[in-house]
Every structure is written in structure tokens, then in C-alpha cells.
A = this chain, B = another copy of it.
């Protein structure tokens, strides 16, 4: 290994590479991280699409550009992007910018590897196993399996595919035509990925039976049982129930224990979509909301949401210890999963998934957890609940906030164009458009909640 060699991607100039990256990093720290999380800066710099296209000069040319031009482009990209770590960004179920998680993500990018074999991802194969073990322990399992997926929607699909494979292993080879018509059950408040998944997996959206929810958005177990019996009477074979811990719009937690009872009686796979609410398991005070989750067969949990680990960090957890993941998804590609390797090939986890290359999603969560400790993460969850309670109390005190009427789209347009904050809105059942407040960002304080309420009043004072 004698002949040392410079990095030649920038005209053979490693000094230039280092200088470029240091400059970019300086821009990132100043513009995206410090300004991007400061309440005195705008959440977004709204531009109409046509104007933004002009400002960004997006077209790709055949000539390359100078270092100065590239740095200017980096600044522009950050300037016109929405600051999702900003304390007034309430628009999505993710929010906040944890510095340790970000450190883990930058290291992940610089190492640029794929999670499929111990050979090329030794650290991350072991780390993923450890992180999944920790998440399973919080669910209540001391054994099991799991994998990080590219988002909760795909985790939910995995659960469906595993459930049907477990019941009908033939399905992998012979397909759904060899099976009776299948039915799965979820509440009307479930995430839309359940129906998307049913279509993608060839089950069809008709296979999704919609169970009633109560006024708070929780699945009604008695209606679940009625639906199961009805589906059977209609000639379908029920195979899976997907409960939700933390619904998308109302934040409801389905009654898992009662649902587990129903699943047990009917022999159905019990999946819990805890993409949003799973992180509540870290709070000794609030984890009772998920009582019964330990009876699930599979759990989808996205630490990129309430824990601010960064997109994407989506775990699918399984109670299974029979290597179901690998039996269901494996194809033993001989160029990647050679069986004559010089180490234990059980560490080559790539054949558990339907992807081939798979990003490393464990490091950001692991590093944040090491830095914060379980206790630090627990405090975040408890703080989010405390601030939510504060918000509710304050709303009760203010006139005009009870009234849900058609002002949300107007207020949204005004807040985005002003750039002061972002909140999502939607209709629900017979209710008109209303704002969905997401309290997730770890840097949120009461002052931010006060600002939010005042700003809403200000934006809507003429309505």
C-alpha cells in the first residue's frame, strides 16, 4: 500500500475538495442549522413556482460551474427551502433538527454504504441489530426480528406481505390467484398507506375492510369483530388487522388490548401502525396509550417523526423468531449472499428485504440515543405532551378558536406567504377544514405556542 494518491475528483486537488466541503459545511451551519432553527427567522420564503424556477436556474448544462457558483447554489437551495426544524413548523408529523442525529446522518452520507452484508457494512449490520433490539424491548419483546424500511408505508406493506405469506407460503411462488380472497381490517382513521399497500401488493383496495371509529378516532373493537364475521360470510378469508397508535389527523390511539383479543379469537395477524405514536413507548407516564402492543405480531415505528431522528428512520419490528422475513423475501442471490464466505452469513441481512441496496438508517438514531440517553428522549416525549396540554388550555381561554369554519385555507395561504409559521389543515368527517397541530419539535417552548395562537388571531382578524 505504498503509492499514496490524492483525491482527483476536483482536478487532482485534495486541498480543493477539503476547502469546498468546509465552505459548504459553513453555509449549512449558518443558514440551515442556526438560522433554520431560530424563531426570529422565517419558516419559509414563499415564491410562486415559476418565479422560483427562475431564481434557482435549475437547468442542467453540459459545462460545469465554478466553485463560487456552486457555493451560491448551495445558499439558494437552503434559502428557498422550508425550515422543518424551525420552532413554528407544525406542518408535518416530523419537525426539529437534533444535532446528534444530524451528525450521524452526515457520517452516514460520507461512508456511503449499503446495509446488506457484514462484509461492506460491519458496523451498521451490528448496530441495526442493537437498535432494533432496543425498540423491540420497548414494545415488550425480548426476542424477535426487524428491519429499517424506507418509510412507514413500506413497513406497513411488509406486515401485509408477511401475514399472507405466513398463512399461505405458496403465495410467494404461485401468487394471489392460488389463494382464496383475502380481507384485512383497519379503522377509517388509518393512514392511507394501508389501501395503497393493498393495491400495490395485488390484494386490491376492496380487500381493506373499514372498521368504525369512535368520536375520538379510536377503532371500535366490537365493529371490528362484526366486520370479520361479515367478511367471512361473504366468502373472504380475514388474515390481518392493522391498528393505529397515533392516527394521522386526530392522533388517536386504538385500544390495542381489545383488538388483540379479537385477533386472537379469529387467528389473525395483529399489526400496529405506530409510525407516529410508537415513540410514546419511551415515556413511562404516557406509554399506557399503547397497552397491548406487546401482543402484536408486527409494529411499524418511525423515530424520524416524534423523536426527530431525521428522514428516514422507519423500523418494522416483528415478534417472529422463525426467520419469517428471510423466508418471505429471500432469493439467495449468489453474487451478494455467497454461502462460502469466511464469516457467519447469518449477518448478511440483505435477503430479509425486498430492496437490494438499502440505506443505513440506524446510525442517526443510535448516536442521538447515546447522546441523550433513554431519559433524555423520554423528557422530549413528556414535554410534547405537556405543551399539547398547554395548547388545549390556552385555546379554551381564547374566543373564536372553538369555531371550526372555512377559514383554514385562507389562514394557511397568509402564514406561508408571510413565512411566520406552517400548520397543516384538512377536513374530517362532517367537520370543515381545521388546523392539525403537531407538537413534536424538541426545541418547542410555551412561547412558541403563545406565538402560534397570537399569530392565528392576527392572520384571521378580518375574517
Contact A36 B94 (CB under 8 A): no
Minimum CB distance partner of A331 in chain B? B192
Q: Is A118 a contact partner of B49 (Cβ separation < 8 A)?
A: yes
- In A69-111, which residues have CB < 8 Å from any B CB? 69-70, 73-74, 77-78, 80-85, 87, 91-92, 94, 96-100, 102-103, 105-107, 109-111
CB distance from A320 to the nearest CB of B (A): 18
Report the bound CA distance from A425 to B113 in whole Å: 18
Most chain B Cβ neighbours within 10 Å, of A14, A40, A112, A366? A112
A287 at the interface (CB under 8 A from B): no
Tell me whether B201 and A371 are in contact (CB under 8 A): no
Chain B CB within 10 Å, residue with most, of A1, A41, A176, A207 = A1
Shortest beta-carbon distance from A166 to chain B in Å: 14
Q: Is A144 an interface residue (CB 8 A)?
A: no
- Could you tell me which residues of chain A, from 1 to 60, have a CB within 8 Å of some CB in chain B? 1-10, 14, 17-18, 20-22, 24-25, 28-29, 32-34, 36-42, 44, 46-49, 52-53, 56, 58-60
For the complex formed, measure the closest distance between the CB of A441 and the CB atoms of chain B, giving whole angstroms.
9
**What residues of chain B lie closer than 8 Å to A74, measured between beta carbons?**
103, 107, 367
Does A193 sit within 8 A of B, measured CB to CB?
Answer: yes
Chain B residues whose CB sits within 8 angstroms of the CB of A20 once the complex forms: 99-100, 103
Interface size class of chain A, counting residues whose CB lies under 8 Å from the partner chain: 35 or more
Please state if B5 and A447 are interface contacts (CB–CB under 8 Å).
yes
A114 touches which one: B77, B83, B311 (CB < 8 A)? Answer: B311
A409 touches B340 (CB 8 A): yes
Within 8 Å of chain B (Cβ to Cβ): is A230? no
Q: Is A32 a contact of B200 with CB atoms below 8 Å?
A: no
Which among B102, B127, B342 is the interface contact of A56 at CB below 8 angstroms? Answer: B127
A268 at the interface (CB under 8 A from B): no
The verdict on A123 contacting B28 (CB below 8 Å), with A92-B114, A152-B357, A199-B172 known, is: no
With both chains docked as a complex, state the minimum distance between the C-beta of A256 and any C-beta of chain B, in angstroms.
Answer: 22
Q: Say which one of A153-161, A238-246, A257-265, A391-399 lies at the interface with B.
A: A153-161
Q: Told that A60-B130, A82-B120, A249-B335 touch, could you supply 17 new A-B pairs with CB distance under 8 A? A: A4-B39, A36-B110, A49-B347, A52-B122, A56-B126, A84-B111, A173-B205, A175-B202, A175-B204, A200-B201, A201-B202, A302-B357, A304-B357, A312-B357, A334-B426, A336-B426, A342-B409
For the complex of A and B, the 10 pairs showing the least CB-CB separation, nearest first, are A202-B202, A175-B204, A64-B373, A150-B150, A4-B40, A62-B374, A335-B426, A342-B413, A32-B110, A58-B130
